[in-house]
Chains A and B, each alone.
Chain A
């Protein structure tokens, strides 16, 4: 049924349809609407889940690790400082191979105190062993959340569903909310591969000395590698039932493109508008939208980008002392193939600053007009040093 839903509520609807059994969360803007709606569902009985109020995000994840170890489907949501606080236990969840699903609403890290969108918080967790899926629209948010449960349980790894603060979390869009029956077909009840069992008491995750630790780490990576293929299979299944799919990466007008803009999140939608306009002017431009960031779909990216002359990766994030994080990953994926595009790295829209069609056109023109990038990462839309700064004292 089509409904007009806030992005946060799309997540909540998906969690309700997925019949999560334990939810533990701590509120933080801009995530709070997700768990607020879920607590309503738990209160009015439309979701039969145990909702745990905890004292921090660290505790939220710790509680879910316990619940998931006991073999139930679990969910939490957080943002920014909250995700940073969870960091230690994020490693624990993946190392323990627990299929926890987390909705992460991208928000800039403080200071300066900022509640607006920025991907640095989720990307700073890229080495924790979590699968990461970035979303562009309200519909994709709902669908990806459903997919996340299936993928997580399939490969025994936790999944982070990532959405932009406000542009997605607080924006209302028409969303097709599927029937419970359809969802049940796509997502059967969770059958844990191992669980705490009072009939057969055991301990998990005790001391792992050097002679086994490496194999355990390798096993996580094998899960990640397997997840690439499983993601595609899962999406095929999803498409059969719901008629929609997204792909680990989505190429838009890439076939004959000389310059490909590489994007993620809501910025991809603005790019679609730009590409429509540029194409009408005869420019050979395309978009490669990256949805799956971990595991990184390097092979798909190589295949889509190798025919282009130039790629412009637009990052709403930054790794200090290095550059845009997506750009770094894309460059690494390309460096071993002989025929590859020149990669330009652009930084745009940090801390929720608006990235307009004009800004993106600027990026395109800079890429078109230069044979090689002038800097490692080009910061776009910066106020000139001479311009007066807005009053921060208010």
Chain B
């Protein structure tokens, strides 16, 4: 084991020295804790209604693998160009990086990937199951219907989509103004989805009679009719000619029939997204919009960002005033408003209001009135049934067993009415129908449970189709589980926007493109919570060289012959993609081996 160095200059040198390998010393036998690769769930993906694998999307983006990143979105959401613009971003509210410096601009990244795919006319290569001997009808080509058709097609079903409007898209096409979602972007995205292989029939209004007529042709019908009728104000003068419905007003503008307001004062009644969109649209058409809302600004159901941009652009807001009556007078309207006060302001909930006492009113003279105080189904049969025998009430959809099976989705079946919830609804219905047809009704709920993302309600199609994401642990990674020693502070890439002055004078999209360089920089900030991005820390920090890298696949494994179970790899994993657990006692280890044999 030792070697005396015979030296050129005769100075004695006796250094312990061995050429024998130490591999015979299997230090793995000392182990009582066992590390293993254990990918977990990022909080953003658990919060995403569509269950997108966001940590992985950012990882691929950071490496410049834009097509792969885009395809990773498409596994769970067919509408990244639309969602990348109008999603409420529940994911960003859960980002662990917010506790470090600033959260990741996830929506900005999604939009970047969708735009990049569109620009280079990329075609996704996604898994599609072999065709099933069943046919599905989808009523309504809004986000829910399109998602349902997309996922059902990928599960192998033949699909026919019926849409009453001249163009598909539903609320995306006719409800959301172009400055938030340009029509060209939407058309390209829908064209891309149609490439999955379903049939789309536009200007095909579905009536109750038509529904009965097609019953025998389809095994299931997905109903994503959406809310297309404005809720009434129930005040005097509401029916007077010229009082316009908010959604119909937006639809008219989106069809290209924009009126001009020439500096006219326009009252918009309501506090939801439709009201805010209508007010901002009025502004762009030259009018002076005034939002009249019966509660306070913080109670408005519209997205906070949209409200603040509206106010910044010059929309006026009148809080705690409720309309009493509308009178048409010589081409003008006299609006009588009643002052309200809050009576119950529990935090986290909309305040309850009632008229002040004694009654205080004011009169408002305006040239136009737009009401947008809520939406409902255009026809009663479009609403899902209440709980009863044969009805499965799911998170974002309702399944009614029968022949054909009816699946209600979209805004009429979801508690939260957003585009990403509509996508979630289409996906949930598609999976539920597939389970129902293959395994029977009793398996629907347990089957859905197996493809949940983390602890939330969102579902993963990739998990349902037994993709690699199946192996993911459902544990949602917390900030305290991130080893921030391996991250540096980095400023968030700000979403570039049109200037206020540019915004108010046109319907040009407000949010601007970001460059590929900026997108990669932003994606690189992502902690990739719970996911291995092959940073190699486990291998570099292992004192026993017991982490082995497979140069072919780039993956890593642990050589348990030498792993002493010190746990350094688990601690130094920046993103909690490893776990350390108690080693099974030797006795049961032998049992396990025997079991295997």
Q: Give the interface of A toward B (CB within 8 A).
A: 96-97, 154-156, 193-194, 200-208, 212, 215-216, 218-219, 222-223, 226, 230
CA distance A194 to B7 in the complex (A): 10
Cβ B13 vs Cβ A203 within 8 A: no
Assuming the contacts A194-B5, A208-B2, asked whether A156 and B19 have C-beta atoms less than 8 A apart, the reply is: no
Q: How far is the CB of A253 from chain B (nearest CB, A)?
A: 36
Minimum CB–CB distance from A276 to chain B (whole Å) comes to 41
Give the nearest-CB partner of A230 in chain B. B11
Q: With contacts A223-B13, A226-B11 known, what are 8 further pairs, Cβ within 8 A? A: A96-B15, A97-B15, A193-B13, A194-B15, A203-B22, A219-B13, A219-B14, A222-B12
Q: A154 — which chain B residues lie within 8 A by C-beta?
A: 9, 11
Size class of the B contact interface (CB-based, 8 Å): 10 to 19
Sorted from nearest, which 5 A-B pairs have the closest CB atoms? A219-B14, A222-B12, A219-B12, A202-B19, A203-B18
A206 and B1 within 8 A (CB): yes
A155 to chain B, nearest CB (A): 5
Partner of A194 from the list B1, B17, B18 (CB cut-off 8 Å) is: B17
| Interface pair A216/B14, CB less than 8 Å apart | yes
Enumerate chain A residues within 8 angstroms of B330, measured Cβ to Cβ: none
Smallest CB separation, A76 vs chain B (Å) = 21
Picked from A156, A200, A206, A212, the residue with its CB within 8 Å of the CB of B13 is A156
Nearest residue (CB) in B for A201 is B19
B-side contacts of A222, CB under 8 Å: 11-12
> Which of B2, B5, B11, B17 is in CB contact (< 8 Å) with A155?
B11
Q: Which residues of A contact B13 (CB under 8 A)?
A: 97, 156, 193-194, 219, 223
A-B pairs with beta carbons under 8 A, tally: 58
Give the distance to chain A from B588, nearest Cβ to Cβ, in Å: 34
Min CB distance B389 to A, Å, is 69
Report yes or no: B16 in contact with A193, Cβ–Cβ below 8 A. no
Neighbour of A204 across the interface among B7, B9, B11, B17, CB < 8 A: B17
B380 → chain A closest CB, angstroms: 72
Question: Can you sample 16 A-B contacts with CB below 8 Å?
Answer: A96-B15, A156-B13, A194-B5, A194-B13, A201-B19, A202-B17, A202-B18, A204-B15, A204-B18, A206-B1, A208-B2, A212-B14, A215-B14, A216-B14, A218-B14, A230-B11
Q: Is the interface of B mostly helix, strand, loop or mixed?
A: loop
Q: List the B side residues contacting A215 at CB < 8 Å.
A: 14
A223–B12 Cα gap in the complex (Å)? 6
Give the nearest-CB partner of B15 in chain A: A97
Q: For residue B8, which residue of chain A has the nearest CB?
A: A193
Report how far A207 CA is from B17 CA in the complex, Å.
10
Taken together as a complex, chains A and B put the C-alpha atoms of A388 and B7 apart, in Å, by 63
Q: Mark B1-36, 1 if CB is under 8 A from A, else 0.
A: 110010101011111111100100000000000000
Which A residues are in CB contact (< 8 Å) with B11? 154-156, 222-223, 226, 230
Contact: B14 with A205, CB < 8 Å?
no
Contact of A193 among B1, B5, B18, B22 (CB under 8 A): B5
Once the chains are docked, how many angstroms separate the CA of A203 from the CA of B19? Answer: 6
When distances are taken between beta carbons in the complex, the residues of chain B under 8 Å from A219 are 12-14
Q: Which residues of A contact B5 (CB under 8 A)?
A: 193-194
From A200, A201, A207, A216, give the contact of B15 (CB < 8 A).
A216
A229 to chain B, nearest CB (A): 10
Instruction: Report yes or no: A204 in contact with B16, Cβ–Cβ below 8 A.
Output: yes
Cα A205 to Cα B22 with chains together (Å):
13
User: A193 to chain B: which residues have CB within 8 Å?
Assistant: 5, 7, 13
Task: Give the CA-CA distance A257 to B120 in the complex, in Å.
Answer: 95
Chain B residues with CB under 8 Å of A230's CB are 11
* Residues of chain B contacted by A208 (CB below 8 angstroms): 2, 16
Q: Which residue of A lies closest to B7 (CB)?
A: A193
Assess whether B19 is in contact with A216, with CB atoms less than 8 Å apart.
no
Give Cα distance in the complex from A42 to B381, angstroms.
79
Q: How far is the CA of A78 from the CA of B537 in the complex (A)?
A: 31
Closest to A156 in B: B13
Cα A222 to Cα B14 with chains together (Å): 10
Q: What CA separation (Å) do A194 and B4 show in the bound complex?
A: 11
Residues in chain B near residue A203, CB distance under 8 A:
17-19, 22
Residue numbers in B under 8 Å from A206 (CB-CB): 1, 16, 18
A230 to B10, CA, bound (A): 12
Residues on the A chain within 8 Å of B22, using CB: 203
* Least Cβ–Cβ distance between B435 and chain A, in angstroms: 56
Residues on B with beta carbons closer than 8 Å to the beta carbon of A155: 11
Give the complex CA separation of A222 and B13 in angstroms.
9
CB of A96 to closest CB in B, whole Å:
6
Which B residue sits closest to A96, measured CB to CB?
Answer: B15
Bound together, the chains give a CA A155 to CA B16 distance in angstroms of 17
**Which chain B positions have C-beta within 8 A of A97?**
13, 15
A194 CA to B19 CA, complexed, in Å: 13
Q: Which residues of B contact A216 (CB under 8 A)?
A: 2, 14-16
CA distance A156 to B9 in the complex (A): 11
Residue of chain B at shortest CB distance from A209 = B1
Report chain B residues within 8 Å CB of A212. 2, 14, 16
**Which residue of B12, B15, B19 is within 8 Å of A205 (Cβ)?**
B15
A119 to chain B, nearest CB (A): 28
Contact with A along B556-579 (1 / 0, CB 8 A): 000000000000000000000000
**In angstroms, how far is the closest chain A Cβ from the Cβ of B9?**
7
* Inter-chain contacts of A218 with B (CB < 8 A): 12, 14
Nearest-Cβ distance from residue A190 to partner chain B, whole angstroms: 14
Name the residue on A nearest B10 (C-beta): A226
Alpha-carbon distance between A155 and B9 when the two chains are bound, in angstroms: 9
Q: Which residues of A contact B14 (CB under 8 A)?
A: 212, 215-216, 218-219
CB distance from B328 to the nearest CB of A (A): 79
- A141 to chain B minimum Cβ distance, whole angstroms, is 26
The residues in B between 449 and 496 inclusive whose CB is less than 8 angstroms from any CB of A are none
Q: Across the interface, do B16 and A205 meet the contact criterion of CB distance under 8 Å?
A: yes
A46 CB to closest chain B CB (Å) equals: 30
Nearest Cβ in chain A — how far from B470, in angstroms? 41
Closest to A221 in B: B12
Question: From residue B410, how far is it (CB to closest CB) to chain A in Å?
Answer: 58
Give Cα distance in the complex from A154 to B17, angstroms: 20
Instruction: Report whether B7 and A207 are in contact in the complex, using a CB–CB cutoff of 8 Å.
Output: no
Q: What is the minimal beta-carbon distance from B65 to any residue of chain A, in angstroms?
A: 34
Checking B2, B7, B19 against A200 with a beta-carbon cut-off of 8 angstroms, the contacting residue is B19
Report the minimum CB–CB distance from B345 to chain A (whole Å): 53
List chain A residues, Cβ under 8 A from B16.
204-208, 212, 216
Chain A proximity of B480: nearest CB distance (Å): 24
Q: Which residue of B lies closest to A95 (CB)?
A: B15
